[in-house]
A = this chain, B = another copy of it.
Amino acid sequence: MWTKYEKIARELRERITNGTYPPGSTLPPIPELIATYGVARETVRNAISALANEGLITPKAGVGTIVRDTGVVTLHSKPTDPHPVWDSTAGTDSKTITIEANSEAANMEIAELLGVAIGDTVVKRLRHYYKGKDVVLLHEQWINGGVAGLILERTSYDCTDKTTKQPSDLYSLMREAGHIPSQTTEVVTTRMPDPEEKETMNMPPGIPVLVTLRVTRDGQQKALETSSFVACGDRAEQTYTVQIPT
């Protein structure tokens, strides 16, 4: 047997998916749903919470319960590029801001990923990718300290300079520094955002994040950099093209 709030949630969900309540429209106000179903306020809110946690709706105080656009994908991230690239429809309202960029000592996890000793110098960079006014992707990156040093030496590009407006292509810089990035391994997972991520990316309830962990290596399997990408789940997708070995 279904509980009351489950029945209400089922009915509203059905009307959202079949187009009775199209994206951008509002659900009936809570008082109306109370009258319709003859239940208490908290019961209606329970149903609404369930749908919000599925990512179907976003309640907004003073406005109403808004049906979300489904399948809104505005950011593509391609593994062959050192930074995610915006898709063709991204337009000009995209930008990248470097929040943090400095040298620090590698902790255990990073040391293992980069194949260096704990405490070795690495360059850590934290970037926010914007789509319009919203941050849609958090990029945390650690660059092998030796590689960063060679880049500075050979190209005068300082990886720890966060004021650079348009950062040069890191892979190109690595090539100029004599380390040719030849392969990445990426692990894609998903989870719910922590409160900090939720606030930074201004995420409504019910939206997970897509997490990608990347390690870039050169031809000698030396790790050049490692990155973690945390992307707003309803704004980003990862695309891969894979050759099948015969």
Identity of the chain B residue whose Cβ is nearest the Cβ of A246 in the assembled complex: B180
> What is the minimal beta-carbon distance from A184 to any residue of chain B, in angstroms?
5
Chain A, interface residues (CB within 8 Å), range: 35 or more
Q: In the complex the two chains form, is B208's CB within 8 Å of A192's CB?
A: yes
For chain A, residues 142 to 193, give those with C-beta under 8 angstroms from any C-beta of chain B: 171, 175, 180-193
> What is the minimal beta-carbon distance from A129 to any residue of chain B, in angstroms?
17
Question: Is A61 on the interface with B (CB-CB < 8 A)?
Answer: no
Question: Is A84 on the interface with B (CB-CB < 8 A)?
Answer: no
Pick from B42, B184, B237: contact of A189, CB below 8 A: B237
> Cβ of A114: which chain B residues have Cβ within 8 Å of it?
none
For chain A, residues 87 to 113, give those with C-beta under 8 angstroms from any C-beta of chain B: none
Q: In the complex the two chains form, is B244's CB within 8 Å of A191's CB?
A: no
**A209 CA to B192 CA, complexed, in Å:** 10
**A240 CA to B229 CA, complexed, in Å:** 15
Question: Is A23 on the interface with B (CB-CB < 8 A)?
Answer: no
Question: Is A245 on the interface with B (CB-CB < 8 A)?
Answer: yes
Chain A interface secondary structure, helix, strand, loop or mixed? mixed
Q: In the complex the two chains form, is B185's CB within 8 Å of A239's CB?
A: yes
Q: In the complex the two chains form, is B192's CB within 8 Å of A53's CB?
A: yes
**A184 CA to B244 CA, complexed, in Å:** 7
> Cβ of A194: which chain B residues have Cβ within 8 Å of it?
54
> Cβ of A244: which chain B residues have Cβ within 8 Å of it?
80, 171, 181-184, 216
Q: In the complex the two chains form, is B53's CB within 8 Å of A205's CB?
A: yes
**A109 CA to B205 CA, complexed, in Å:** 29
For chain A, residues 204 to 229, give those with C-beta under 8 angstroms from any C-beta of chain B: 205-210, 216
Identity of the chain B residue whose Cβ is nearest the Cβ of A175 in the assembled complex: B246
> What is the minimal beta-carbon distance from A19 to any residue of chain B, in angstroms?
16
Question: Is A22 on the interface with B (CB-CB < 8 A)?
Answer: no
Pick from B171, B181, B183, B245: contact of A80, CB below 8 A: B245
